[in-house]
């Protein structure tokens, strides 16, 4: 039993479970807000607009009856009894669809805004030096308390490190190619050797011709 409770405690204390619970609570509250916005503001406007255009009662009166049941009102008029009728409520369906698209659109806007803010924060954090870089700047007697100077010197330090790493990689690549030449390197070496021999041969012939002329 103790092991069971320890495992349960470990499960509920995990970060993703807590995050999921918070997400569910916020999502429920957010859904209630959007539903209220749809039912109390947007749908009345749509119903009013449809009533003006069609002269009816808007989405509230869009039904397809499969089986009608009737009742009598206080004035003795026969009216449709929706409680006992079988019908398709197109108004509720359209309202649910509008609800869905509103929730999806607002969530998209919120997530896009949060992603933009997060990327901005990441960029700002990435511009600031790490602990090691702060140590190196301090050793160079850089005023790390001045934010502007700190960012400028950090950028210079990173650029210098990147250039040094690039040069080191070029040296290592050249060394590796010298130890393990590729077929292309061998062909270039043979070409250069033949070109050098051809040049030497041409110079030798020119010298012989000059000696012959002089004689």
61 with 46, same domain: the answer is yes
Domain boundary among 127, 156, 178: 127
Instruction: Tell me, yes or no, whether 31 lies in a domain.
Output: yes
Retrieve residue 194's tokens: 């033949």
Residue tagged 């140590």 (tokens)? 135
pLDDT band at 88 (very low <50, low <70, confident <90, very high): confident
pLDDT at res. 205: 67
Task: Please tell me the predicted confidence (pLDDT) of residue 93.
Answer: 82
pLDDT attached to residue 118 = 75
Q: Average of pLDDT values for 81-90? A: 79
Q: What pLDDT does residue 137 have? A: 76
Cβ atoms 79, 71 nearer than 8 A: yes
Q: Kindly state whether residues 57 and 143 are assigned to the same domain.
A: no
Q: Binning pLDDT at 50, 70 and 90, where does residue 15 land? A: low
Both 59 and 85 in one domain: the answer is yes
Which of the listed residues 108, 127, 146 is the one where a domain comes to its end? 127
The domain of 192 spans 133-206
Confidence tier at 149 by pLDDT (50, 70, 90): confident
Pair 72, 143 in one domain:
no
Nearest-angstrom CA–CA distance, 58 and 48: 7
At 72 the pLDDT is: 78
24 and 115 assigned to the same domain? yes
pLDDT value, residue 196: 79
Domain boundary among the residues 68, 97, 127 is at 127
A 10 A CB-CB count for 59 gives: 20
pLDDT at 125: 72
Residue 211 domain-assigned?
no
Q: What is the pLDDT of residue 209?
A: 66
Residue at 42 is within a domain = yes
Task: Say if CB 47 and CB 67 are below 8 A apart.
Answer: no
Whether residue 138 contacts residue 117, with contact meaning beta carbons closer than 8 Å, is answered with no
* Rounded Cα gap, residues 24 and 16, in angstroms: 12
Q: Is residue 67 domain-shared with residue 108, that is, in the same domain?
A: yes
152-206: pLDDT as tens digits: 888 888 888 888 888 888 888 777 776 776 677 667 777 877 777 777 777 766 6
Main-chain phi, psi angles of 65, to 5 degrees: -80, 130
Taking only the tens place, the pLDDT of each residue in 18-75 is: 667 777 777 777 778 777 877 788 778 877 887 777 666 666 667 778 888 878 777 7
Q: Does residue 215 form part of some domain?
A: no
Which residues, other chains included, contact 96 with Cβ-Cβ below 8 Å and sequence gap of 6+? none
Please tell me the predicted confidence (pLDDT) of residue 193: 79
- Other CB atoms within 10 A of residue 38 CB: 20
Looking at residue 106, what is its pLDDT? 76
Same domain, 153 and 199: yes
In the predicted structure, residue 215 carries a pLDDT above the cut 60: no
**Residues 93, 153 within the same domain:** no
Decide if 213 is inside a domain.
no
CATH of the domain at 20: 1.10.1200.120
Verify that 188 and 202 share a domain, yes or no. Answer: yes
Tokens of residue 203, six digits = 């110079």
pLDDT above 60 (res 141): yes
Nearest alpha-carbon partner for 150 in 183, 125, 128:
128
Strands 86-89 and 63-67, by their bridges, are: antiparallel
DSSP tag of 143: -
Tell me how far apart the alpha carbons of residues 30 and 109 are, in angstroms, rounded to a whole number: 14
Q: How many domains does the chain fold into? A: 2
């Amino acid at each position: 039993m103790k092991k069971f409770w320890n495992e349960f405690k470990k499960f509920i204390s995990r970060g993703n479970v807590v995050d999921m619970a918070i997400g569910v609570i916020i999502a429920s509250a957010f859904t209630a807000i959007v539903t209220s916005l749809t039912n109390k503001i947007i749908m009345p406007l749509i119903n009013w607009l449809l009533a003006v255009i069609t002269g009816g009662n808007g989405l509230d009166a869009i039904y397809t009856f499969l089986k009608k049941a009737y009742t009598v009102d206080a004035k003795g008029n026969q009216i449709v009894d929706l409680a006992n009728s079988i019908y398709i409520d197109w108004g509720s369906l359209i309202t649910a669809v509008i609800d869905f698209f509103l929730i999806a659109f607002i969530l998209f806007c919120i997530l896009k805004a949060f992603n933009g803010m997060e990327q901005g924060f990441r960029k700002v954090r990435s511009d600031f030096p790490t602990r090691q870089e702060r140590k190196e700047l301090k050793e160079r007697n850089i005023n790390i308390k001045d934010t502007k100077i700190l960012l400028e010197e950090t950028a210079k330090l990173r650029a210098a490190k990147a250039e040094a790493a690039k040069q080191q990689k070029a040296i290592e690549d050249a060394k590796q190619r010298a130890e393990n030449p590729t077929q292309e390197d061998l062909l270039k070496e043979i070409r250069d050797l033949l070109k050098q021999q051809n040049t030497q041969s041409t110079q030798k012939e020119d010298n012989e011709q000059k000696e012959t002329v002089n004689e």
